[in-house]
Structure 1
């Protein structure tokens, strides 16, 4: 019973947001009579809604349930001030994604009228190997997840898409070493992204943050400090111990302020006299 209900809900997508009863039957692979009965039950509960044209859409009850997901709206609420600051600094696409299976799911995206066009959307999915946020999440994922992605065919979107396991392993090692990634032209040749990890209260990478800008004329390395600062701010708000600790540069600065001033050679000679 539950499996058939899930098959009906799975018939909907961003490209198929409104479906007739026969279309739901066709995409779910269920008999029309079974579809009619189950769609009626889902509509009564609020999981589906019927519009004025007789087509069905996902209902608000599903949105209410999604709001309870800790990696969705809760994470989004914590992250929004930092996403907003990064957007104001760049006026480009700012994205927040989480790992789900072997894909990245985008839980938030801020975009302006002048921002470069992107294929991602809130609630949308993309492969881990071909996106900045995906590479961050994959680099810090469990070994079994990494191997599953490396063993599967790597879908090529452009001539710059990572297409071999050897190349992907090398990039993932660089991500772990550097703490950020620049993904240039992997989904669309006209775009590049800079991404960094977001840590939770256990210091586990719970999400990844990125900014997507036009490839032409962009200086991605100039964006790294802002992206990492935003990711660190979200991590701090989530209670990450490593984010709450002072970075090495700040520790050195604090130590230099606390240390007594060094004495000049003349002062030392004066003491000796």
Structure 2
């Protein structure tokens, strides 16, 4: 989560930074992600989001412009440059999903006021391919590009719930976790959780991936009915109200349908 420009995120707590982190590189990468995911930024907005001086933000943006990651317009705003635009229009399946979902994620954030994500599954992991942050001071930060154990994420539960029983057993076979048994989930408990997800048609993650965070998600289908991704919103648990769950699920399902219509 972030609070008033702090760079500490839920994901940074879970995923340790490299031992010799280069702050300027981290700032530049975060700016590039903001430009691609959220659109135009001013120097002042960039400085506030990163928690740095305007002069520092200006130098970072100037370097992004120099390397074609950003473009400066006549109103002194910065937007995604050629490199980011090319990445967004890559012909890969992931890029297609991401491009289709981003506008709807942004609309979802505006409507619900919480961070929104789209994630896909690769084996026993979940990768977040699109993320838009809430504009609130206390919020769950962007998870764009991050990878987590599938059984610990909302989208992962949605996607695992689609697997046949034998395929799920093979995925979490004990032999595959030799040398790392602590990473293997309790299969009996996981099967019960997935049965609940199938029965409800949505997944509720209350502190499963990180204490203090609640996430709610629904599946995104291809035209042939195949579930290809999980669409979710995440929020600080202090802001979650159980009575809002039906409303949130309904809003998420409507958003998922609009994403499906864009695929």
Bin the TM-score by the shorter chain: 0.5 to 0.7
Paired position in structure 2 for 1:209: 231
Q: Pairwise mapping of residues 35-54 of structure 1 onto structure 2 (< 5 A)?
A: none
Offset of 1:118 from its aligned partner? 4.1
Determine whether 1:233 maps to 2:254. no
CA shift at 1:231, angstroms? 1.1
> 1:124 matched to which residue of 2?
146
- Kept in 2, the 8 Å contact 1:106–1:120? The answer is no
Cα deviation for residue 69 of structure 1 reads 5.0
> In structure 2, do the counterparts of structure 1 residues 227 and 116 end up closer, same or farther at CA, with 3 Å as the change threshold?
farther
TM-score (ref. length: structure 1): 0.57
Alignment of 1:15-26 (within 5 A): 15-16=17-18
Do 2:154 and 2:217's aligned partners in 1 also have CA atoms closer than 8 Å? yes
Partner of 1:139: 161
User: Matches of 1:122 and 1:17 in 2, distance apart?
Assistant: 21
Partners of 1:190 and 1:216 within 8 A in 2: yes
- Kept after mapping to 2: 8 A contact 1:116/1:191: no
Looking at structure 1, the residues matched to 19 and 93 of structure 2 have their Cα atoms a distance apart, in angstroms, of 23
Q: Output the CA distance in 1 between the equivalents of 2:165 and 2:90.
A: 28
Matched residue, 1:94 = 116
Deviations 1:232-264 (A, max 9, x none): 2212332xxxxxxxxxxxxxxxxxxxxxxxxxx
Coordinate RMSD, CA, aligned: 3.4
Structure with the greater alpha carbon radius of gyration: 1
- How far has the Cα of 1:16 moved from its partner? 4.8
Aligned to 2:127: 105
Alpha-carbon contact 1:102-1:145 (below 8 Å) kept: no
SS at match of 1:216: helix
Corresponding residue of 2:209: 187
Measure the CA separation in 2 of the matches of 1:216 and 1:193. 12
Q: Do structure 1's residue 175 and structure 2's residue 200 form an aligned pair?
A: no
CA distance in 2, matches of 1:67, 1:147: 37
In structure 2, relative to structure 1, the CA distance for the partners of 1:112 and 1:139 (3 Å cut) is same
What is aligned with 2:98? 76
Report the alpha carbon displacement of residue 94 of structure 1 after superposing the two structures with TM. 0.2
| Secondary structure of residue in 1 paired with 2:216 | strand
Cα distance in 2 for residues equivalent to 1:100 and 1:63: 25
Over 3 Å counting, the alpha-carbon distance change for 1:149 and 1:116 in structure 2 is farther
- Give 3-state SS (helix, strand or coil) of 1:229's partner: helix
Tell me the TM-score normalized by structure 2: 0.59
Distance 1:67 1:92, change over 3 A: same
- Which structure would you say has the larger RCO, counting Cα contacts within 8 Å and 6 or more residues apart? 2
- The answer to whether the 8 A contact 2:159-2:227 is kept is yes
Alignment partner, residue 256 of structure 1: none
